[in-house]
Structure 1
Amino acid sequence: MTTLDNRPNTALLVVDVQNGVVEGAHERDAVVANIGTLVDRARAAGTAVVWVQHNDEELVAGGEKWAYVPELKRLESEPLVQKEYGDSFEATELEDILAARGIGRLVVAGAQTDMCIRSTLHGALARGYDATLVADAHTTEDLSSFGAPPPALVVAHTNLYWKFQTAPGRTAGIVTTEEADFTAPAG
């Protein structure tokens, strides 16, 4: 159960599913389809969907690489958080957006597994949120030429690692797209 007072609500946090981030990502189409399913299910349950979009020298605001993939459509009423760091909370208005909506539980999906997803999960847990990773709805590119394991192993290791995360008064863990339940109460 979240350690944040008066935060019983849940949000689906969709992180950096941008053209330039996922263009060569592991199982890109399946992951994007799963995220689309999660978005549809969250909306149907009345759960907030919050979108995060990375900005840097390669993902220049307004550019094609910066844009979200065409398969995913954000509703105008859904918040869009612009960020420059791996952790979606760092130097952004994400915390204010979540607080205003009474959100204490995050269901996280997106890219990249070994960068922004891990950073955001840790940032959420450290700030008092319950943070659940959707095991089949995150991905990364192949960074093995830099010494990283192949992307399938990065995804698998992150799922294993997050499955056993704990913190006082907070929950973490993983679910699949099929198991994600947006009607369940937080905690």
Structure 2
Amino acid sequence: MTTLTDRPGTALLVVDVQNDVVGEAYARDAVVTRIHDLVRRARAAQTPVVWVQHHAEDDLVTGTEGWRIVAELEPAGDEAIVQKEYGDAFEGTDLEEVLARLGVGRLVVTGAETDACIRSTIHGAFTRGYDTTLVGDAHTAGDKTAWGAPPVDQVIAHTNLYWSFQGAPGRTAAVVDAADVDFA
């Protein structure tokens, strides 16, 4: 029930699954495998897949191996790749225009990092009127306990918990496991 009129479509949003972002991430291989399966299922259902790729001059330099999307995932030639430099994939990008062109009002979100770009993007989508589903077992992050953060499994669990209770007029938030994502 998105608040975006004339946009009944769904898109799978794959955020920052890049070599240097997920190289040391918690449960990296399992998460990437789930995202790979979601991409395959979305394509089979003719649901658009939109890729988001972070760049930063100090550590994720455009064109470098660390900046590239992981080898297990490959955007199709006709799939949008949105370049971003802020946590929220909508800020300073053409993501909104891409989604409007595709008629998308519902996002299914996967990727990294849970406590940064995923959190910012799901909130950004929701406040912009999108129904926003977080795939609870298809997002991850690197260990930030050295800076006082909880262990990654707890960060993921907390994010899934609070997102499952989000609410706002005219739109929905949800958390589902990858196996339960319905692109219909």
Partner of 2:12: 12
Q: Which residue does 2:43 correspond to in 1? A: 43
Query: Can you list the C-alpha shifts for 1:13-35, whole angstroms capped at 9, x where unaligned?
Result: 00000000001100000000000
SS at match of 2:133: strand
TM-superposed CA distance for 1:173, in Å, is 1.0
Residue 173 of structure 1: SS of its match in structure 2? strand
C-alpha distance in structure 1 between counterparts of 2:153 and 2:65, whole Å:
26
Question: Take 2:176 and 2:156, find their aligned partners in 1: how far apart are those partners?
Answer: 13
What's the RMSD between the two structures over aligned residues?
0.4
Alpha-carbon distance in 2 for matches of 1:149, 1:61? 30
State the one-letter code of the partner of 1:22: V
Mapped to 2, the partners of 1:129 and 1:71 lie a distance apart of 28
What secondary structure does 2:122 align onto?
A: helix
- 1:149 is aligned to 150
After TM superposition, list the pairs within 5 Å mapping 1:32-71 onto structure 2: 32-56=32-56, 57-71=58-72
Q: Distance in 2 between matches of 1:146 and 1:166?
A: 31
**Other-structure match for 1:130:** 131
Q: Could you list the runs of 4 or more consecutive aligned residues of structure 1 that deviate by over 3 angstroms after TM superposition? A: none
The normalised TM-score by structure 2 is 0.99
Q: Secondary structure at the match of 1:66?
A: coil
1:50 maps to amino acid: V
Mapping 1:34-183, distance limit 5 Å: 34-56=34-56, 57-183=58-184
Deviations 1:68-91 (A, max 9, x none): 000001001000000000000000
How far apart, CA to CA, are the structure 1 residues paired with 2:27 and 2:40? 20
2:52 maps to amino acid: V
- The Cα shift of 1:147 comes to 0.5
- For 1:75 and 1:27, locate their aligned partners in 2 and report how far apart those are by CA, in whole Å: 25
CA–CA separation in structure 2 for the residues paired with 1:66 and 1:40? 23
What letter matches 1:18 in structure 2?
A: Q
> Counterpart of 2:132 in structure 1: which amino acid?
A
What percent identity do the matched residue pairs reach? 63
Q: Name the TM-score, length of structure 1 as normaliser.
A: 0.97
> C-alpha distance in 1, partners of 2:15/2:161?
20
**DSSP-derived class of the 1:137 partner:** strand
